[in-house]
Structure formats: structure tokens, C-alpha cells
Amino acid sequence: MPTDAAVGGSAKGRRLLGEDQLFLLLSILIGVFAGLAVVCFRMAIDATRWIFFGSGLMPPRGRVILVPGAVGLLVAFLVVRFFPRVRGSGVNQTKSALYIYDGYIPGSTIIGKFIHAAIYGVWPDEPTAHRWQIRFELSEYLLRQNTPQDPKAAQAELVALAAELPPQDVAAQMRLGTLFLQAGLYARALTAFRAALADQPNLMPALEAASEAAFRMGDYPTARHYLLPIVAQKPKDEHSLELLNLSELVIKLDPSERGLPSQEQARRALQDFHLALARAQKCTPSAGSGVAALVDQAKSIKPNERILARNPDAIAKTMDLVFKLEKASAPCGPAGLEDKALGLLAQQSEMPR
């Protein structure tokens, strides 16, 4: 609660200056302090340049090679250990302070942002490229950590970086896509690899990475599109060949493919049912009562292709039983290619549409 003296003092100040004059005085003071902050900021940029590159016009070659990596590690260390809220732009910090924290910005964030920006501003040539490099290194560092917060911070950093990188920079898009893959953002990874392929359509690392991203996100037609030229050029690549076979088999067994006639949906669902039941029957003696119960349930249903074609709900129930049979049969031994495809279909059914 304000004291009587404080209330009286503020009222006296208003009487002496008036509200307009008081507002003008406060504006002048804020302007003076802001100007001094800008001057200090420019001096900090010059000081960090002198520290890292010396006072000469042409920095020593050794420093030009070593300093960028060292400064990237320094920025990552400061941000992660001391100034976690410094991540992102100053505009974002101001917005979050206004909308979330009632205008409060911690003093440590102010100091950290000052140091962070001064270090970012030290590069004598291609400052934007150096900032991208530092953000890449920060994202890589965060992805190497094991805490739940760090992957999310890395994802946010990568999404912000993706908005800045030019799509024609193939090397940067490849590096970005690789980090998106590590972060589990497969759709964004695929977008980055597509940007690289738009400039170099036959770039093998981009084709391989794009197929991997599409496969992991459950987009098997797109994965097949990128895997076909890979296998054509590298027919002995076992990993790509397995992904291609799995992608084609998932497409072939999927009864929920868009635009599929009801008769074909029923045929595929019935085929999946018999595949899953056959595997479950093979492992029943060594499995628990759960598999045996599912096998008995499957035998009692006896799905018919004609009935399935007339009843979409019956197809959905049949596929649900297929996925349960495959899950219950998983401990019974290594799965064949068709069973792996059914497992991928089960994962795909759990993804949001």
C-alpha cells in the first residue's frame, strides 16, 4: 500500500508539472536511457570484435577459422546454462512479456539478450550466415541432451531457423532436414529435403533422406516415389530395398486407401485377416491365453468378402481384430515382410488423420 507521504509527493509532482508535462519528462528520460543502451550496445559489438578478431582490418586467418565455432559453443553455453529465455528474437520476448508475464522481463534475460546480440553482431563478413551456423550448433547441442525440455527447445529453434533459410541453399536445407529427422518432425524434414531436391533432383543423400522422412511419417506412396530411383541406382542397398518392399506392401494391403472401391476394400481387409490369423495360429502353443482367445474370436467371426463390401463398419472391426492379432503375435518370433507391413498399417491407423 502506498504511504501518505508517497501519495502526497506524487500529487505534489502532478501539481507542479501537470500530467502532460510529467508524461513529456518521462518520455525524455526513457529516450535518454534507450539512447545510452544503444551506445553501450554498439560499444559491446566493437569490444567483442576486438577481442575475437583483433583491431586490424584483416583478421588473422587462424582466428577466422577457429572463432566461429568457439563463439557458437560460447553462445550455446550461455543460453542453456544462464539465460534460457534469451532463445528467439527480442520481439518475441517482448510479446511474451506483454501477453503472458504482465510486462515483466527478468533482469537476467535483459543482460543475456544484450550479450547474445553483441556476440551475434561481431562477425565482419556474412553475419547472417554466421548466425545460421550458431543456431544450427545450438540445435545440435540441444538434441544431444536427454531432458524433455531440450528437444522441445531444439524443435522451436529449428522451426524458427527454417523460416530464415533460403530454399535454394541445398547444404543448409539438407542440414536442417537432418536435424528435423532427429527431432521427430518428419513432415518438416520432408519439406526441407524437397527444397534441396527442387534445386538438385538427383541428389542421392536428399532422395534417401526424403524417403526416410516420408516412411517414418507413414506416407508410404511418397516414400515409394523417392525409393524407386534409389533402388534403380543402388540395387544392392538392402535398407532402401526393404523400405521399398514394405512401402509397396503397405499400399497393397491398405483397405483404407482413398478412392478405393468397396469390393477392393473388402478383398484387402479379408486378405489382412487371413495373414494375421495364420501368424497367430503358428505361435499359439508358445503364447499365452491372450493369443488363443483372439484366435478363437477370429475363427468365430468368419468374415465374408461380400458382406464386408456392403458394410464399411464391418471392415473397420475386421481390421481392428487384425491389428490385435498382430500385436499379440509380436513376441512369438521375427515377423515376415507381410506382418511388418500389417504392423505399419496398425501404426498408421493410430496417427491423426
225-241 pLDDT, tens per residue?
Answer: 999 999 999 999 999 99
1 pLDDT band (50/70/90 cuts)? very low
CATH for 167-253 is 1.25.40.10
Weakest-pLDDT range from 32-46, 161-175, 182-196, 225-239: 32-46
318-343 pLDDT, tens per residue?
Answer: 888 888 888 888 777 677 888 888 88
Express the helix, strand and coil content of the chain in percent, nearest 5 each: 80, 0, 20
The long-range contacts involving 89-96, CB below 8 angstroms and separated by at least 24 positions, are 89/160, 90/117
Query: Where are the alpha helices (H) located in 145-203, listed in sequence order?
Result: 149-164, 170-183, 186-199
Instruction: Please state the domain extents for the chain.
Output: 37-164, 167-253, 260-350
The grid coordinates of residue 318 equal 475386421
Range among 69-73, 246-250, 256-260, 325-329 rated most confident = 246-250
Q: Which amino acid is at 292?
A: A
79-121 pLDDT, tens per residue?
Answer: 666 666 555 555 555 555 554 556 666 666 666 665 666 555 5
Give the whole-angstrom CA distance, residue 280 versus residue 288.
11
Q: Which amino acid is at 233?
A: Q
- The per-residue pLDDT of the chain, averaged, comes to 77
Range among 82-86, 124-128, 188-192, 320-324 rated most confident = 188-192
